[in-house]
Structure formats: structure tokens, C-alpha cells
Amino acid sequence: MSNETVLAVDFGTSHSLVGAYRNGQRVEALPIDPGSPDNTLMRTLLYFANENECYYGAEALKKYSEFEMEGRLFRSFKSHLPNKNYIGTIINNRILNLETLIGLFLLELKKRAENILQTKITKAVIGKPARYSMDDVADGFALHRMKKAAEYAGLTEVNFVPEPLAAALDFKRQIANEKTILIGDFGGGTSDFTVMKITQGEFRKSDVLGVDGCPLAGDALDSLFMQNRLNTGFGAKTQYRMPMSNNLLKMPVAVMDRLNKPAHIVHLKERETYEFIREVQKCALKQEDKESIDRLFVLIEDQQIFPFFESIESTKKRLSASATAKFNFDYPDLETTEVFSSQEFENWAEDVKMNIFAALDRCLNQAGLKVSDIDHVFLTGGTAHVPFVQNEFRKMFGAEKLETKNFFHSILSGLIESAAKWDEFRS
């Protein structure tokens, strides 16, 4: 083991990082994306200029802009893993299943790491959420897909380690005294929890008292702005009547579900869905609905989906520091100005919050502990800064036990630690 190089991959919904364990030494976050403000942090983006030309991370955004937003930009594609109905996509005549999309991204991470480390790598530790899905079958299916993606990338030996456990392993390295800690990791796609006993001795699997989570986090909160207000400007409330029919119909939920979600909206461009929306527009009863669908086509055809959701995410972040935040999007024919309040955002997010804290309750129950038994709480990720999330943790544990930072590298650090203990984390 000491002469091997084991890759450590934090493959995230929004960002990805890579480190390694090599010749018995830790290799911290590698500079895998020179175009990024933090070159160790690569946005999880794929941009296909055409079926044979693909770009990644910061270069994906750069080329997307240079090529005037032609082609296909994929974000949050990790969130499709548990969905059996999502097979993949077609770019021109090239069929790309989800395992290949993810495999391409993992392969690029591996190539860049190999180039930096000047060695071939076939062995990796890859982070996984506590749960890809609340359904056990779908959760297992997601992990199966990840294994296929890793194989595509040429990683023949892989251990999958829960991300919150990896974060806990990193904090174990920082804490000298014996404590029982809770790690809450809030990414783009999932909210994950680990309860772990920190001791001065070597890590033992029995130190992990509970691991649980749910497939809701930052992206789910972003979608609430579209779902509850912004989608009306894109035909969400359209009523239509098909030729030779008396039935009054509404824009189907399946179409609106794609419109509302950052990971799904790109698929409105697929031919069958696109043509269906065109038919709805022809049969719409009101002129204002026809015009709203025109806006939807501009959003799709002018490739404004990504910047529109970037503006939503920016608005959400501003609500963390202010009671209100202005959403403004000024692209021609898509001009939109709205003011959102933190109170209405919290009201919309009630179900998401309930599911997140239900996962926390399950984690504590699995550990056989009460809230009062937890000595310290570490919260990581952007959603950890959302005020109603912060307030709930303060109420439960007390402000004195909380530490909240954007520990972008903490999961990766823990994955490197698990790479060093390969046999203990064998999948």
C-alpha cells in the first residue's frame, strides 16, 4: 500500500476536489482547475460544444460564453443518479447515458491528477452522500451507477465513503480531547449528517455512531424561487385546449418540474419535450400565456438557463444577510425584476427544512443519543448559512456548540485519510 497512489475524489453536485495518498504520504488538494479563482476547486460542469467536443469546470463556462452559448451545458447532473427514469441525453447523434456523463467528468479529474502527480492511477476513494435517495432501491441504483461511471474513468478499485463521515475524519485530526461530535454537510444536492466519537486513538469503525441524510439541499432551495413565483413568466399557469377536444388542460406537472429544477431544466431542449411545449403554445387560450411560452423558448434557445439560475442562487445568498433581496435579470425579452423576502422564502422551504431535520433525527436515533449528548456541532456548505437552518440548530444545540464555515476541503481531507486506511473502508 505504501508505494501506491490512491486518488481521493470529492465529486460534488456543485464543485469537485481531488487529493491523493501516495507513498505513505498525504497529498492535499491538487490544483486541478487553473481557470478557477481557487484552482483546487473545480465546478462540476460539462459543456458540449458539439457531440465530440467537451469542456470542464471553469473552461466549460469560458467556452460556453465564447461559443455564444451554443451546445449543451450540464450542471447538477449528479442529482439524476437515483432516478431510473433519467437514462441520459442525446447530443446531435451521440447518445450519452448518465454513467458516461459522470464517467467523462471523473476521467477528466483523473487525467489532471495523473498529469500533476506524474503517475497512472487506477485506485480511488470517492465520496458519496449519506443517501442519494430516501428510497433504498433508488439509493442502491445510484451507487451502482457511480460504480459504472468510475469504471468508465478507468478506476478499477474504488471505495465509496460517506461524505459526512469523511468530514468527521477530518475534524478528528483537529480535536485532541475526547468528544461526541455532529457533522452537518449541506451541499448542492444533499444534506448529510454523521455522529462520531472523537478519541485520541486510531480510528475504529465503532467510533461512527450514526450516518444519515436526505437528497435535499442548495438546489432544492434554489428551485423554490422558480416554483413559487418566477415560473409564471414562462408559461407555468398556461391553460390550453387541444383541437377537436372540449377538455381544458393545464401545463403538465412533468414539464413544470423540469422548468423548476436546476439539474432538469436543460432537458426542456430535448426534441420531444420541446415540440410538446410548442403544441401547448399553439393551443393556449390566452395571448399572455402564448407570450410567456415565447419567453420560455428564449430562455432555452438563447441558452440563458444557467445564468438565470445563477441569479436565483445569488438572490438566495443575499437573503441570508437581509430581510429582502431583489432579483433582477436583464437579458432582452427575459427582463425580470422581483423582490423576495426571507420570510416567504422560509415559508416556501418548510417541507425542505422538515425533511432535512428528519434526517438529523434519524441520525441521532441511530446513534442512540439525545441532543444534549452532542458536545460539538460542525456545519459545512453554503446552505448551512441560511438563517432558518442556523436558527434551528441554535435552538436544538445552543449557539455555543455550533461552528459554521465553508470547509470546502474538509471532506476531501477526510477522504485522503480514508485512502490511507484503505482496508478499513473497503466498499
The phi-psi region of residue 250 (left if phi > 0; otherwise alpha if psi is between -120 and 50; otherwise beta) is beta
Confidence of residue 13 (pLDDT cuts 50, 70, 90): confident
Given a cut of 90, whether residue 268 has pLDDT beyond it is no
Which are the contacts of 385, defined by CB distance < 8 A and separation ≥ 6? 317, 320, 404
In a domain, 16, yes or no: yes
Q: What is the CATH number of the domain that holds 116?
A: 3.30.420.40
Q: What is the pLDDT of residue 19?
A: 96
Confidence of residue 70 (pLDDT cuts 50, 70, 90): confident
Q: What is the pLDDT of residue 64?
A: 85
C-alpha cell at 140: 442502491
- Looking only at Cα atoms, what is the longest distance across the chain? 76
In a domain, 119, yes or no: yes
Across residues 35-39, what is the average pLDDT?
92
- In the chain, the number of structural domains is 1
Given a cut of 90, whether residue 155 has pLDDT beyond it is yes
Given a cut of 60, whether residue 172 has pLDDT beyond it is yes
Nearest to 224 by CA among 349, 408, 86: 349
Task: Report strand pairing: 324-329 vs 336-341.
Answer: antiparallel
Rounded Cα–Cα distance for residues 98 and 174 (Å): 38
**Domain hosting residue 55, numbered range:** 5-164+410-425
Given a cut of 80, whether residue 175 has pLDDT beyond it is no
Across residues 39-58, what is the average pLDDT?
92
Q: What is the pLDDT of residue 168?
A: 78
Q: One-letter amino acid identity for 288?
A: E
pLDDT tens figures, 104-141? 999 999 999 999 999 999 999 999 988 888 889 999 99
pTM: 0.78
Confidence of residue 352 (pLDDT cuts 50, 70, 90): very high
Rounded Cα–Cα distance for residues 106 and 39 (Å): 17
In a domain, 278, yes or no: no
One-letter-per-residue 3-state SS of the chain: CCCCEEEEEEECCCEEEEEEEECCEEECCCCCCCCCCCCCCEECEEEEEECCEEEEHHHHHHHHHHCCCCCEEEECHHHHCCCCCCCEEEECCEEEEHHHHHHHHHHHHHHHHHHHHCCCCCEEEEEECCCCCCCHHHHHHHHHHHHHHHHHCCCCEEEEEEHHHHHHHHHHHHCCCCEEEEEEEECCCCEEEEEEEECCCCCCHHHEEEEEEECCCHHHHHHHHHHHCHHHHHCCCCEECCCCCCCCEECCHHHHHHHHCCCCHHHHHCHHHHHHHHHHHHHECCHHHHHHHHHHHHHHHCCCHHHHHHHHHHHHHHHCCCCEEEEEECCCCCCEEEEEEHHHHHHHCHHHHHHHHHHHHHHHHHHCCCHHHCCEEEEECHHHHCHHHHHHHHHHHCHHHEEEECCCCHHHHHHHHHHHCHHHHCC
pLDDT tens figures, 88-105? 888 888 888 999 999 999
| Cα 408 to the center of its chain, rounded Å | 13
Given a cut of 80, whether residue 69 has pLDDT beyond it is no
In a domain, 132, yes or no: yes
Across residues 372-382, what is the average pLDDT?
89
More confident residue, 183 or 269: 183
Mean pLDDT, the chain, whole residue set: 90
Q: What is the pLDDT of residue 401?
A: 92
Rounded Cα–Cα distance for residues 29 and 9 (Å): 10
Q: What is the pLDDT of residue 208?
A: 86
Strand order in the sheet with 402-405: 208-214, 191-198, 179-186, 376-380, 402-405
Question: pLDDT over 70 for what percent of the chain?
Answer: 98
Across residues 347-373, what is the average pLDDT?
95
In a domain, 270, yes or no: no
Question: pLDDT over 90 for what percent of the chain?
Answer: 58
Cross-strand partners of 403: 378
Q: What is the pLDDT of residue 407?
A: 61
Q: What is the pLDDT of residue 113?
A: 97
C-alpha cell at 329: 435579470
In a domain, 105, yes or no: yes
Confidence of residue 427 (pLDDT cuts 50, 70, 90): low
Across residues 237-243, what is the average pLDDT?
92
C-alpha cell at 95: 447518445
Given a cut of 70, whether residue 61 has pLDDT beyond it is yes
In a domain, 271, yes or no: no
Given a cut of 70, whether residue 2 has pLDDT beyond it is no
In a domain, 387, yes or no: no
Given a cut of 80, whether residue 420 has pLDDT beyond it is yes
pLDDT tens figures, 201-222? 777 778 889 989 999 888 899 9
Q: What is the pLDDT of residue 72?
A: 84
Which stretch, 19-33, 245-259, 392-406, has highest mean pLDDT?
19-33
Rounded Cα–Cα distance for residues 347 and 174 (Å): 37
Across residues 325-340, what is the average pLDDT?
94
Q: What is the pLDDT of residue 380?
A: 83
